[in-house]
Amino acid sequence: MKSRVSRAFFRSVIGALGVGIIGVQAALGQSAGSGFFVNPIWVMTNNHVVEDCEAVNVVGHGDVQDILRDPASDLALLRLAQPHAGAIIQFRATPPRLAEGAHVLGYPMADLLSASLRVTSGSVNARDGFGAGDGLIQISAPVQPGNSGGPVLDDAGRLIGVAVGVLRESFAQNVNFAIAPDVAQAFLRERGIAFTLAPDAGSARPLPDVVEDIATSIVPVFCSGAAAPDATESARPMVLMPERDVVGFDYAFLRGQSLEGCSGACVGDPQCHAFTFNRRHNACFLKSDARVLVTNADAISGVARPLAQSVLDAGFRIETDRDAPGGDFLRLRESGYTDCLLACATEPRCAGFAYLRAQRDCWLKDRIGPVVPMPGVEFGLR
Q: Are residues 163 and 257 both part of a single domain?
A: no
CA torsion angle 113 86 30 149 (round to 10): -80
Amino acid 113: pLDDT: 62
Q: Are residues 365 and 334 both part of a single domain?
A: yes
State the SS3 of 277-340.
EECCCCEEEEECCCCEEEEEEEEEEEEEHHHHCCCEEEEEEEEEEEECCCCEEEEECCCCHHHH
Domain edge (last residue) among 224, 243, 262: 224
Q: Are residues 242 and 334 both part of a single domain?
A: no
Report which of 91, 99, 143 is spatially closest to residue 118, judged by C-alpha positions.
143
Enumerate residues 6+ apart whose C-beta is below 8 A from 189.
Answer: none
Report which of 147, 153, 105, 100 is spatially closest to residue 127, judged by C-alpha positions.
100
Q: Are residues 209 and 130 both part of a single domain?
A: yes
Domain CATH code at residue 376: 3.50.4.10
pLDDT tens digit at each of 382 positions of the chain: 333 333 343 443 333 233 444 544 344 456 789 999 999 999 999 998 998 898 999 999 999 999 999 988 999 999 999 999 999 999 999 999 999 999 999 998 766 666 789 999 999 999 987 666 778 999 999 988 889 999 999 999 999 999 997 765 444 567 899 999 999 999 999 999 999 999 876 567 899 999 999 999 999 999 987 544 433 333 446 788 888 888 878 888 898 888 888 988 998 888 898 999 988 888 899 998 887 888 888 899 998 877 776 777 777 898 889 999 999 999 999 888 878 887 888 888 999 999 998 999 999 999 999 999 999 999 999 8
Instruction: Indicate whether 381 belongs to any domain.
Output: yes
Under a CB-based contact definition with an 8 Å cutoff, are residues 181 and 80 in contact?
no
Instruction: Indicate whether 1 belongs to any domain.
Output: no
Q: Are residues 289 and 260 both part of a single domain?
A: yes
Instruction: Indicate whether 75 belongs to any domain.
Output: yes
Cα 332 from Cα 132, distance rounded (Å): 48
Under a CB-based contact definition with an 8 Å cutoff, are residues 204 and 33 in contact?
no
Instruction: Indicate whether 352 belongs to any domain.
Output: yes
Cα 36 from Cα 149, distance rounded (Å): 8
Q: Are residues 71 and 203 both part of a single domain?
A: yes
Domain ranges, residue 94: 8-224
Amino acid at 185: Q
Report which of 182, 180, 185 is spatially closest to residue 195, judged by C-alpha positions.
185
pTM reported for the whole predicted model: 0.58
Amino acid 173: pLDDT: 66
Domain edge (last residue) among 266, 283, 310: 310
Instruction: Indicate whether 275 belongs to any domain.
Output: yes
pLDDT for 80-130, tens place per residue?
999 999 999 999 999 999 999 999 999 987 666 667 899 999 999 999 876
The domain total for the chain is 3
Q: Are residues 251 and 348 both part of a single domain?
A: no
Instruction: Indicate whether 273 belongs to any domain.
Output: yes
Amino acid 138: pLDDT: 94
Instruction: Indicate whether 2 belongs to any domain.
Output: no
Q: Are residues 102 and 216 both part of a single domain?
A: yes
Amino acid 167: pLDDT: 64
Q: Calculate ∠ Cα 308-150-111, nearest 5°.
A: 50
Domain edge (last residue) among 294, 310, 326: 310
Q: Are residues 237 and 105 both part of a single domain?
A: no
Instruction: Indicate whether 375 belongs to any domain.
Output: yes
Q: Are residues 106 and 189 both part of a single domain?
A: yes
Q: Are residues 127 and 86 both part of a single domain?
A: yes
Q: Are residues 306 and 354 both part of a single domain?
A: no
